[in-house]
Amino acid sequence: MRKFLVVLLILLAVLVVAADMGGRSLAQSMIAQQISQRMEMSEEPEVSIEGWAFLPQALGGTYEELNIRATSATLGEVTAEQIEITASDVEAPLADLLSAPNVVAGTLEGTAVLPYSFVNPYLPEGVTVSTENGSPRISGTVALADFGISVPVEAAPEITVEEGTILVTPTDVQVGDAPVDVSGMVADMITFSFPMPELPYGLALTGAESVPGGLRITGTATDVPLMGSEAA
């Protein structure tokens, strides 16, 4: 009898684990499909519902954390890369999931990398931002019409954010030979700003930094519908 009970308990444990894994996988797949459509992704993102067990969270209707990763997504007219989103305090009542899925994140934090090809049109002709030896650099040749000459320039970009706008200020500006000191003029020419494309899920731009390959932007939002009619 004792042996039978042990075997029964083991079978029940296996069934519970299998149900937990299956439920987690199904929920992750549903969320991935919705996010893929919302963010115009070429393929579904990787979605991970965190926590030691899925079923207790599902029964309670609250999930501690949800992580979303994707190689790329469309933001306005630009394709961003290295998408990472963390949703915390996610409310998803079990009754809603069984009928009309409704998932709301208490807090949403996301990062993405904008390629430098999106930034370069804001620079003077002949100057671009690119990665050199693993570091972002502004470089090229600037035409100085007042002097009738063109000079080579190189600088490091310093990135700041102000009211949803990204500001790029050159530092350590190096200018080639010129008849007079034109470093200040050149620095002004390669100082620029640009508005961010509209971010998904109402994310507000909070930070940006230069990384190899582009600008990594960061955004946050609260009370964000991830699935359901309000997320459409």
Tell me the Ramachandran region of residue 42: left when phi exceeds 0, alpha when psi lies from -120 to 50, beta otherwise: alpha
Instruction: Give the pLDDT of residue 231.
Output: 54
Residue 191, pLDDT score: 93
> To the nearest whole percent, how much of the chain has pLDDT over 90?
22
* Distance, CA of 141 to CA of 143 (rounded, Å): 7
Question: 37-41, 59-63, 94-98, 214-218: which range is least confident on average?
Answer: 94-98
Reply yes or no on whether the pLDDT at 15 is more than 80: no
Q: Assess whether pLDDT exceeds 70 at residue 232.
A: no
pTM, two decimals, is 0.78
- H/E element holding 157? strand 149-162
Q: What is the pLDDT of residues 76-116, one digit of tens each?
A: 778 888 889 999 988 877 666 556 567 888 999 999 999 99
Q: Where do the structural domains in the chain lie, given as residue ranges?
A: 2-106, 117-199+206-211
Predicted pLDDT of residue 218: 93
Summarised one tens digit per residue, pLDDT across range 111-168 is: 999 999 888 999 989 999 988 888 889 999 988 887 888 889 999 999 999 888 899 9
Query: At residue 183, does pLDDT exceed 90?
Result: no
Percent of the chain with pLDDT over 70: 84
Band (pLDDT 50/70/90 cuts) for residue 6 is very low
Residues 6 or more apart whose Cβ sits within 8 Å of residue 97: 27, 58, 103
How does residue 230 score in pLDDT terms, banded at 50, 70 and 90?
low
Q: Of residues 198 and 219, which shows the higher confidence score? A: 219
Question: Per mean pLDDT, which range of 14-28, 65-79, 114-128, 174-188 is the poorest?
Answer: 14-28
Q: What mean pLDDT is predicted for residues 182-195?
A: 88
Query: Furthest-apart CA pair in the chain: how many Å?
Result: 99
Q: Cα–Cα distance between 228 and 91 in angstroms, integer?
A: 12
- Note the pLDDT of residue 199: 84
Is a pLDDT exceeding 90 seen at residue 213? no
DSSP label at 100?
S
Q: What is the pLDDT of residue 78?
A: 83
Looking at the predicted structure, is the pLDDT value of residue 66 above 60?
yes
